[in-house]
Structure 1
């Protein structure tokens, strides 16, 4: 986690109105392991002394005290005593970063700041929100850039990374880019699903017609699972819930919508009779009616004329064994 050493106590006013590109949320947040710890605004004293002044600078080619805009490049600077200031600047209740590597040019959008100890943190300054001063640092809020990507700026302005917890919901922000992730995310130790709002999902999840199940940790389940008293199987590679006839460990199982099938199960045009997902074979008495479940077809219900060598039978179109006179399908 990045933390800059405190050298001076500074006080800043966090923006109370950030709309369009930034949707403010609660400042009372907790962070999961691997997330970036909120940097105190006091730490900005590591980079420069604080200079305060009003916004709306005079446009001039002469370096004057206060804000100035270079007419040829459109870049903003802050002058004092005939020089461009560099480092962190508090002005009009907002924080700005004046890039020391670029003669104090005010930064906008996404940028990184490295302290004297080599620790680096990422920040985002307003580059498209008319309700917030141009170049002002975002703090304590969600923000969306012009590409539609979402970020979260902590109280100190540094961008959150890794797992981030807010108002009962977990989010995951890429540690390298700080962009909020959506969809399936494979973190090596587990695979997770984040919905369109970025919220981590748990329990049953339906995506593109496939069912998944996630533990309370958000990790997707694989292999055999007992959920609500029923047995399910989830593919170890795709994490998709098995349905229909599936071969596992050399044995064929039948899965319905609610786990291992029990009783009659229809797979396409074929019928099977199951007990805990295992298809019965041979003769089966169900509700006082005999059926023949063909062992050669993994237990598929047999219809029509059946010759077992020592005896012959006729199974009606519903699979029931005929007793007495029976008429075949061809008459």
Structure 2
């Protein structure tokens, strides 16, 4: 049984008309554009099909007689060089019937034609890959093994390279003659051949879901603007959709139409603005909406919202809300920040009014202990860098003028030698290494002997009253006690507060230990710190200041131990 080989050839062109009744009153006229046929009855030119002296002719909309293939009313017709319509004859590889139309989806004189007018030829086993065939002529043939299409001319020679047929152009492999389909690079240019028919595409077409454009010569356009600069062909020729950067500018192309957008657009819940050329606006203030309010487009083009932009604040809607800010230091949500001349928050070191600050990666001034460039620094609650001697927690430290902490060194401060350990803590020569916490408290308290008494004061150096002195000494060791002497004796304050728990001690030399608090008068009105050897150190009065006295210089009424 013979196998049928399908000959695929499609003719493209759109001309629409109908076949009118012949007009006996006729006159031919020759113009620069071609031949025309006039009728006295209509005082015009014939268009469409016209039967003249027994022969059919075809005239276009301008009345010019056509020759060659014409497509109208969904059929193909062939007009000879003299304009007469061909009938019942072969025109190249195609056959026109008695009414002049191309034979399609029919059988004529034993020859079968497909929907495109191609002959469906039978093969007796020829592979279709040879360069010459006695059996294959004037048509397309498909290899049985490869399912590849080849074209043989009327001499039986296999065509190679470019092939032009009435319905379009094709390209056949220069070596094998196989019909190319899909995207094909020929020389330096790319072309697209219909995957079903092999015909070269021109103009607009789709491949999958992507749109492409090829010139009249079939070259796929790439990396260029098309359609009056409303669409852009990418590096592979597909029309760009979505976001694209072209020569450094950002554009957005509609996913549905592939055309660039202009004006205000909401994309992924963010607002953007594109100028009349489609270029995305960025890093600039613009007006928006009927109220013409100011809004800011950021570096990525999106409208800023709920944030500061330079001097101004924009609301959740993206408009300026009237809030402004100044340059320099400012405070926000309990944190310290610094704006430079452009109102931008800064990071790193900044000096303001002789005070040094360090602003971290979150733009807030750092506080407390910090390690910066492998050096230790300390910043107070306002973010100000500290220098000189400083009590932090239970230890004393020294910070150089640049703020860096001294460690593993002995230095002179105001003529006094200070030694600091590897952690930067001051090593007190008066406190033995094996001293108890109470002995350390006593030794530390004695350092402030001779400093002034200030009623209501709590400064160990600038002045304190009796209970302010004891409270500040204990605080140095992380021990929290009430502010008033009577409350210190009771271990709590009627005003509330969280304090260390104290232990009541009998106020005599047999029971007292260094670091204990000794209380006097009834009700309690004075307090001192027991330092051993029957002595206390206390902020006595405005005349004597902080002094050492015998613990029983007046009768003690009670004692408390907070350090054990």
Using the size of structure 1 for normalisation, the TM-score is 0.54
Which residue matches 1:225? 225
1:270–1:311 CA distance, 2 compared to 1 (3 A): closer
**How far off its partner does 1:266 sit?**
4.1
Matched, 1:175 2:174: yes
Which residue matches 1:279? 280
**How far off its partner does 1:149 sit?**
1.1
Conservation of the 8 A alpha-carbon contact between 2:7 and 2:140: yes
Which residue matches 2:312? 311
SS of the aligned residue for 1:247 comes to: strand
Matched, 1:185 2:184: yes
1:174–1:306 CA distance, 2 compared to 1 (3 A): same
SS of the aligned residue for 1:230 comes to: coil
Conservation of the 8 A alpha-carbon contact between 1:141 and 1:153: yes
Structure 1 stretch 238-247 or stretch 286-295: which is displaced more?
286-295
1:240–1:137 CA distance, 2 compared to 1 (3 A): same
**How far off its partner does 1:203 sit?**
1.7
Conservation of the 8 A alpha-carbon contact between 2:129 and 2:143: no
1:107–1:205 CA distance, 2 compared to 1 (3 A): closer
Conservation of the 8 A alpha-carbon contact between 1:272 and 1:293: no
**What's the CA shift string for 1:138-186, capped at 9, x where partnerless?**
1111111213211111011101111112123111111111111111101
SS of the aligned residue for 2:7 comes to: strand
Conservation of the 8 A alpha-carbon contact between 1:160 and 1:178: yes
**How far off its partner does 1:235 sit?**
2.5
1:306–1:170 CA distance, 2 compared to 1 (3 A): same
Conservation of the 8 A alpha-carbon contact between 2:204 and 2:211: yes
Which residue matches 1:294? 297
Q: Distance in 2 between matches of 1:22 and 1:210?
A: 30
1:267–1:215 CA distance, 2 compared to 1 (3 A): farther
**What's the CA shift string for 1:52-87, capped at 9, x where partnerless?**
xxxxxxxxxxxxxxxxxxxxxxxxxxxxxxxxxxxx
SS of the aligned residue for 2:272 comes to: strand
**Higher relative contact order (CA closer than 8 Å, sequence separation 6+):** 1
SS of the aligned residue for 2:188 comes to: coil
Q: Distance in 1 between matches of 2:260 and 2:248?
A: 16
**How far off its partner does 1:192 sit?**
0.7
Conservation of the 8 A alpha-carbon contact between 2:274 and 2:280: yes
Q: Between Structure 1 and Structure 2, whose CA radius of gyration is higher?
A: 2
**How far off its partner does 1:222 sit?**
1.4
SS of the aligned residue for 2:264 comes to: strand
Matched, 1:164 2:163: yes
Q: Distance in 1 between matches of 2:296 and 2:154?
A: 68
1:221–1:137 CA distance, 2 compared to 1 (3 A): same
Q: Distance in 1 between matches of 2:278 and 2:263?
A: 9
Conservation of the 8 A alpha-carbon contact between 1:270 and 1:300: yes
Gaps of 5+ in 2: 10-89, 94-123, 323-564
Conservation of the 8 A alpha-carbon contact between 1:27 and 1:140: no
Q: Distance in 1 between matches of 2:253 and 2:215?
A: 21
Matched, 1:138 2:140: no
SS of the aligned residue for 2:239 comes to: coil
Q: How does 1:119-158 map to 2 (within 5 A)?
A: 122-124=131-133, 136-146=134-144, 147-158=146-157
Kindly tell me the number of residue pairs found equivalent between the two proteins. 205
Q: Distance in 2 between matches of 1:111 and 1:294?
A: 64
Conservation of the 8 A alpha-carbon contact between 1:291 and 1:301: no
1:215–1:293 CA distance, 2 compared to 1 (3 A): farther
1:293–1:20 CA distance, 2 compared to 1 (3 A): farther
Q: Distance in 2 between matches of 1:153 and 1:271?
A: 60
1:310–1:24 CA distance, 2 compared to 1 (3 A): closer
Conservation of the 8 A alpha-carbon contact between 2:202 and 2:215: yes
Gaps of 5+ in 1: 1-17, 30-105, 113-121, 125-135, 324-331
**What's the CA shift string for 1:231-269, capped at 9, x where partnerless?**
333233x22222222222333233333433212334434
Q: Distance in 1 between matches of 2:203 and 2:269?
A: 32
**What's the CA shift string for 1:270-298, capped at 9, x where partnerless?**
3311111211233333442436243222x
Q: Distance in 2 between matches of 1:107 and 1:186?
A: 33
Q: How does 1:50-89 map to 2 (within 5 A)?
A: none
Q: Distance in 2 between matches of 1:211 and 1:107?
A: 41
Q: How does 1:21-60 map to 2 (within 5 A)?
A: 21-23=5-7, 28=92
Which residue matches 1:249? 247
Which residue matches 1:209? 209
